[in-house]
Structure 1
């Protein structure tokens, strides 16, 4: 058979990605996302809603995150990533973990907030993630990734998030607790 021959595995992978891109039902998503991750995403939704004042934008943010996470999982489980992409995935994971730990630290330690550091960590995570998936996802999925990172890498949002006694404080407290649980369990 030639390189361009029909392969059921390729068709199956495309079908999975297509089905997952259409998922919005919370019950279906629960199959793929554990309770702690769901709580974390719910708190991200609340932060986004407070920041944007727009329920639809906050929902879009969380839906985009879920879609990207699930598609990454499908690609990984089906061994679609090259060795170079897997190395970039390690880089992404390290940069993303540094960003997570910075968020926790900035919340827990007064006067430690460093916007340039956090924005740089988000930018580096964003670029690494795009490199990993650029050959595997559609332009629409790539634009979802860009949109999510642009939302979180917004200076006004970040400054408000870490301002003393901000409107985000209660929700950020819950989010940080979820992040601690996820990191302790190895899920984040």
Structure 2
């Protein structure tokens, strides 16, 4: 999961409320086709609904790029092998919404010293998680589900805390939805276990993940 919060200002900030106006538009079936889904299009819809109302549109530049769009498109493909289309799209949508909203809030508002510490702690844990995922995705026979799940639980705890302080209860539920599905053992096995059905595509995802981290887009 990616949260591009490279610019922060050191006071608590107002809670950012969720909107109900976005829907996935998915048909909910389990088709293997990605017809009708585009992460770039989803970015644009969420931008208009969220960033256009509460923050500068320039925040989107951290999320819309060839690498990030391809990463999310490929992640959607893998998710759709495990879950129905509507669930897969909701997971991607929730990741984008949480990332954008936290990015907006941390850029547009001053945070208390404690919240800044909590944010930095989350960012460090997230970086460790992403580096581990990248390592598992590129190095054969390195995948360890229990260790990875422990890292994911650690990130979820910190992200849930930040979300409860800065966003809404609905956002907290979105975080739970994301990690419930991404942390599923069968899903992770299918993506990261050497020789698994989605292992080759996961390597492409990790390449884009590495590029985004190198460019400090995460």
Corresponding residue for residue 48 of structure 1: 79
Matched, 1:39 2:70: yes
Contact 2:18 2:171 in 1 (8 A): no
Cα offsets for 1:83-134 (capped at 9, x unmatched): 2121111111111111111111112222211111111111111111111121
Shift of 1:82: 2.1
Of 22-31 and 104-113, deviating more is 22-31
Give the root-mean-square deviation of aligned CA atoms.
2.2
Q: How many residues align?
A: 174
| Alpha-carbon distance in structure 2 between the residues aligned to 1:119 and 1:99 | 9
| Alpha-carbon distance in structure 2 between the residues aligned to 1:170 and 1:60 | 24
Matched, 1:70 2:100: yes
Cα offsets for 1:122-161 (capped at 9, x unmatched): 1111111111121232221100001101111112222222
| Alpha-carbon distance in structure 2 between the residues aligned to 1:146 and 1:18 | 15
Q: Which structure carries more helix by proportion?
A: 1
Corresponding residue for residue 37 of structure 2: none
Matched, 1:173 2:203: yes
Shift of 1:81: 3.0
Stretches of structure 1 that go unaligned for 5 or more consecutive residues are 1-8
Q: Which protein, 1 or 2, shows the higher relative CO under an 8 Å CA cutoff with sep ≥ 6?
A: 2
| Alpha-carbon distance in structure 2 between the residues aligned to 1:94 and 1:22 | 33
Shift of 1:23: 4.8
| Alpha-carbon distance in structure 2 between the residues aligned to 1:60 and 1:99 | 22
Contact 2:79 2:88 in 1 (8 A): yes
TM-score by length of 2: 0.72
Larger Rg over CA atoms: 1
Corresponding residue for residue 157 of structure 1: 187
Alignment of 1:39-118 (within 5 A): 39-52=70-83, 54-118=84-148
